[in-house]
Structure 1
Amino acid sequence: MKVVTHSGTFHADDVFAFAILREALGAFDFVRTRDMAEIEAADLVFDVGGEYDVARGRYDHHMRDLPRRPDGTPYSSVGLIWRDFGRSALPRLTPGIDEDMLDSVWQDIDTNFVLAIDQADNGVATVGQTHLSLLVEAFNPAWDSEQSYDAAFLEAADFAKGILLRACCQAHAEARALSLVLTAARKSRDPRVIVLDGKLPWEKAVFEGQLHDLLFVIYPNEDSTAWYCRTIPPEPGSFGQRLALPESWRGLQDEEFSRAAGIEDGVFCHPSGFICGARSLESTILLAEKAICAGE
C-alpha cells in the first residue's frame, strides 16, 4: 500500500494523521511529495492533492468546498483520518481495550484532542505559544539546518505518537472509570451514596450518567489506610456541594472530629465542608448517612 502526503514544511495535522495511519494500517510505503503523478498513483493521500473522496482514499481539505464536521467546523487531515481510521488504530494505541469502549474512547479523543488541531490548522481558534500544533511545527528544520524535512517529519511523528498514546490511555482510563462508577451506582442500596473500590475520576460519570440523586461518593485513599467521603458538586467543575457536610464537623481532626461526628476512627473534615474521612469503610459510610440526616 502506498500512502502519500506533501513534502516540505509540515504541521500538526499531517504529522498526527501519519501517526494514526501507522497504527491503523501497519506497514506501508510512505512518500512525501507534491508530484501529481505520484499522488495519482497512491492508494491513500492526505493533506495534499486538492481532492476529498473517501471512496478513492483522498483526504485533502484545502479546497473551497472543504469537508466539515456536523457542527460546521472545517476538518483538517487529522480529523478526517481519525474519523475513518481512528477506531482501527485504537487497539494498538490502547492495548487491551474492550470492544464496547472503542466508540467512547474514539469520541473522547476526537472531541478533546483532534478537534483542537482541526481548529488550529484551519485558523478558527486562537493558538497560544504552547499550543500542541506549534510544538509539532517546531520540529521543522531551521533555515540553516542540515536535517531533511522528511527526517524531521518522522521525528515529529514519533513525538506525536507518544502524545497520542498518552491521550488514548487517559481516555481509556476515563471510560473504564465511568463504567465502574455507574456499576457502583446500580449496586448501591441508597442512590444518594456510592462506594468505589479505588480512587478514580468520578465526576464525569456523575453528570454524564445523570446520577441526579447522588450526594456523596466514598473511596479509599492511595494507600488504603483511610476512606474519604466526598460531596457532589451541583454542576461539573463547581466548588459548591449538593449537600455540604455538617457545620459542626468542619475543620476538626482525629479525636475531636470523631467526637463531633459520633464515630470511633475519624480522620478529618475539611473546613469548607466538601470532604471528610475515617479509617474504616463502615465509619465513612456512617458519616455520609449522618450528613444526609443532618441535611433533611
Structure 2
Amino acid sequence: MFGAVGARGLSCFSFRHLIIRSQTTTPRFALQPSCFSTSTPKKRVGTHNGSFHCDEALACFMIRLADNFSGAEIVRTRDPKVLETLDAVVDVGGDSYVHRLYLSIYKNFVVAVDAVDNGMNQFDSDEPPTYVNNTSLSSRVVRLNLDWTEPDQSSEKENEVFECAMRLAGSEFLESIRFHAKSWLPARSIVEECLASRYQVDASGEIMVMNRSCHWKLHIFDLEKELGMFPPIKYVLYKDDRTENWRIQAVAVSPDDFRSRKPLPVNWRGLENDKLSDVVGIAGCAFVHASGFTGGNRSYEGALEMARASLRA
C-alpha cells in the first residue's frame, strides 16, 4: 500500500478539503471517474505568500498530480477571505485541527491496513496472541476474494468482487473521517477545558469532572503529555444520562491497557446501594464494579467524595 514509513511522510495538503466535504450530507469526495476536462473550471489551490519552504512547494506539485487538480492555479495569499473561496489550501489558514485529524486517522485506520498488508506483527513478542481477530477490515476484504468452489473464476468475476472490496474499504474510511471530524475532534476542546479546571474540583488535581458527555478517553493521554501534567488524572466524573447517577471512572494506565492507574478500593468492589454506602461511609452509593475500574453515586457530591476517599485509600 503506502509503505510503513512513506504514508506518514505524505503531506496532508488535500486533507482539509476531504474533511470539510466529509461533513456534508452527500460527500463530494466519493470515488468517481476523473472530472477534469477542458470544460471544467480550473481548480484553485492556496498557499501562503512571502518566504516559502519545501513542504508547500512539494505539496503544490503533488496536488497537481491528482486528475481533478491537474493544472490547478496556485494562489499565494494569507487573506482568509480569499482562502475560503479556494478548492484546497496548503500550509496556511491556521487549521491545526486538520493536522490532528490527519495524524489520528492515519494512526487509527491507515497504519493497521498497511501493517497487515506488509506482514507486521502488532506486538513485539514471540508469544502467540491470546485470541485471533478475524473481524478486522483487512480480514473482511480478503474474504471477498472468489472462493475456490466458485465456478466462475474469470477476470470479470474477480473484478466484480474487487469492486465490492473497494466499496467496503472506502465506506469504512469515510466513516472514520466522519467520526474523527464530528465526534473525536470536538471532544478534544471539551477535555482540554475540563483538565484546565481540575484544581477547582479537588486540590490534588487528580480528579477531572466532565461538564458534558463526550469521548474523553480518546484525548486525556495525549493532552496530559502535551501539557506536561503531573500528577496525572486518576479519576474522571461524569453524569450517566441513562440512570441520572454520577459515575466515577478510574483512568487506565495507557490507552491500550485495561489496568487502572488507581482502581477503586478492593473492599468496595462488587458492592451496591446501602451495603456499599455503609462500607464507604458516603450516602447515595450505587455500585462499584468487581474490577474497581468504575463506580457510581446518586449525586455529584457523593461521587466526588468517593473519588477523594479512593485517592486517600
2:239 aligned with 1:220: yes
Q: 1:232 aligns with which of 251, 254, 267?
A: 251
| 1:89 match | 18
Deviations 1:161-188 (A, max 9, x none): 3211222233332333333222101022
Q: Contact 2:286/2:297 (CA < 8 Å) preserved in 1?
A: yes
Q: 1:104 aligns with which of 100, 104, 121?
A: 100
| Matched length | 221
Within 5 Å, which residues of 2 pair with 1:22-171? Answer: 74=3, 83-95=12-24, 99-122=95-118, 132-133=137-138, 135-136=140-141, 144=153, 154-171=163-180
What is the identity, as a one-letter code, of the residue corresponding to 2:193? T
2:193 aligned with 1:183: yes
Task: Report how far residue 114 of structure 1 moved.
Answer: 1.6
- Structure 1: gaps of 5 or more residues: 1-72
Q: Residue 171 of structure 1 aligns to a residue in which SS?
A: helix
2:276 aligned with 1:257: yes
Q: Contact 2:15/2:98 (CA < 8 Å) preserved in 1?
A: no
Q: Residue 276 of structure 1 aligns to a residue in which SS?
A: strand
| Mapped partners of 1:241, 1:219: distance in 2 | 17
| Mapped partners of 2:105, 2:7: distance in 1 | 12
| 1:207 match | 221
| Change in CA separation of 1:250 and 1:91 when aligned onto 2, cut-off 3 Å | same
Q: Contact 1:78/1:118 (CA < 8 Å) preserved in 2?
A: no
Task: Report how far residue 158 of structure 1 moved.
Answer: 3.1
Q: Over the residues paired in the alignment, what is the CA RMSD in angstroms? A: 3.8
| 1:193 match | 207
| Mapped partners of 2:110, 2:212: distance in 1 | 30
| Mapped partners of 1:180, 1:287: distance in 2 | 24
Q: Contact 2:211/2:238 (CA < 8 Å) preserved in 1?
A: yes
| Change in CA separation of 1:216 and 1:75 when aligned onto 2, cut-off 3 Å | closer
Q: 1:266 aligns with which of 282, 285, 302?
A: 285
| Mapped partners of 1:122, 1:240: distance in 2 | 31
Identity %: 24
Task: Report how far residue 125 of structure 1 moved.
Answer: 6.2
| Mapped partners of 2:242, 2:117: distance in 1 | 44
| Change in CA separation of 1:120 and 1:273 when aligned onto 2, cut-off 3 Å | closer
- Structure 2: gaps of 5 or more residues: 26-93, 123-132, 225-229
